[in-house]
Amino acid sequence: MREFIVAIVGASGAVGEELIRILEEQNFPIRKLVPLASKRSVKKEISYKNQKIAIQETTHDIFKQEGVEIAFFSAGGSVSKEFAPSAAQAGAVVIDNTSYFRMQENIPLVVPEVNSEDIKLWKDSGIIANPNCSTIQMVQVLSPLHKKFNIKRVDVSTYQAVSGAGKKGMESLLKQTKQILQNEKIEDCGAFPYEIAFNLIPHIDVFLSDSYTKEEVKMIKESCKIMHSNFEISATCVRVPVLRSHSEAISIRFENEVSAKMIREVLSNAENVEVIDDIQNVKYPMPIIATNTDKTYVGRIRNDYFRKDTIHLFCVADQIRVGAATNAVRIAQKWIEILES
């Protein structure tokens, strides 16, 4: 099998570190790994397959100098805006994990289980966008159901872990929890506008003029682009005091009457989705189950009391893996398949 020169921009960050771990776990065909970050991270080292590799500074020329063929970007939208075009111009396929390119018309936005055929559009710009973490797990569930039963409307409430705010988010929760347990006053809320320990915050990203947050609008618009659909979606996104893995309560209205049994059957056969829905034995998806895995877990599947065309369910996925790094690697794997076909 052909091997590739792979760069990771943001190699010292949480998603970058997870990318490196997944590439190693899956024995991704790498001839040379090029970890990149900002100037302050230069000379730090990352570990890959029992070797230490020095981080280099992200520059416009580094991609051509190193002969990079696949470039994963996970260092923030401003970095992707500045450097991703240079990587693409140097001949690399860019797989971008920020929001910067997602809704641009000529950029494919991909969840491989849902719209892998869109990867073929990468040549227009050299860039493939990785969706928002909460969007990815939701469309993995919605797509097979839409294909089978035709969705008319979705209402989702998210319960998003603090790791969605990066390392600073996790540090904030741990520090505040310790302070509260020691009866200390919390002076610094860290990554959040209010204390997050023993609390929840119905506010992720900035508020827009229509009173939705940017995170909620991402879920709406990205889902429609990925699924090539136009059914109604509304989202409410909430930050909760969980370290890792996002949860979502989803209500789905279909064109016709459906049953919970029918939904379970479809999702049981969906790619990278696992149904845990055994209420007799008190088994259902939770963040503690999803963390450090590459599956999206679904349970609490039940019919609406009043509408025979509506189903409610609960899904959980590790948003650093499924919602970011794993999805990016799966995009790269599909891109290689297309390249070699």
43 pLDDT higher than 90: no
Tell whether 147 and 269 lie within a shared domain.
yes
For 232-274, the pLDDT digits (tens) are 999 999 999 999 999 999 999 999 999 999 999 999 999 999 9
**CATH assignment of the domain containing 187:** 3.30.360.10
**CATH assignment of the domain containing 126:** 3.40.50.720
Share of the chain above pLDDT 70, in %: 100
Half-sphere exposure of 199 (CA within 13 A, CB side): 17
Q: DSSP alpha helices (H): ranges in 13-92?
A: 14-25, 62-66, 77-89
Tell whether 218 and 123 lie within a shared domain.
no
For 274-332, the pLDDT digits (tens) are 999 999 999 999 999 999 999 999 999 999 999 999 999 999 999 999 999 999 999 99
Q: Which of 186, 160, 176, 153 is nearest to 310 (CA)?
A: 153
What's the total number of domains in the chain? 2
Prediction pTM value: 0.96
Share of the chain above pLDDT 90, in %: 95
340 pLDDT higher than 90: no
Tell whether 94 and 148 lie within a shared domain.
no
Tell whether 14 and 107 lie within a shared domain.
yes
Tell whether 110 and 241 lie within a shared domain.
no
Tell whether 311 and 182 lie within a shared domain.
yes
Tell whether 167 and 188 lie within a shared domain.
yes
Tell whether 184 and 147 lie within a shared domain.
yes
Tell whether 43 and 139 lie within a shared domain.
no
Is the dihedral angle over the CA atoms 124, 127, 132, 138 positive or is it negative? positive
Location of structure tokens 């992707």: 80
Q: Give the CA angle between residues 192, 194, 199 to the nearest 5°.
A: 105
The predicted pLDDT at position 206 comes to 96
Q: Which of 101, 112, 107 is nearest to 140 (CA)?
A: 112
Reported as a pLDDT band with limits 50, 70 and 90, residue 231 is very high
Domain interval for residue 24: 4-131+324-340
Which residues form the catalytic set? 133, 246
1 pLDDT higher than 80: no
Q: What is the mean pLDDT of the chain?
A: 96
Tell whether 315 and 328 lie within a shared domain.
no
Tell whether 85 and 107 lie within a shared domain.
yes
For 119-142, the pLDDT digits (tens) are 999 999 999 999 999 999 999 999
Contact status, residue 108 vs residue 137, Cβ threshold 8 Å: no
Task: Pick left, alpha or beta for residue 76 (phi over 0 → left; psi -120 to 50 → alpha; otherwise beta).
Answer: left
Residue type, 97: N
Tell whether 255 and 197 lie within a shared domain.
yes
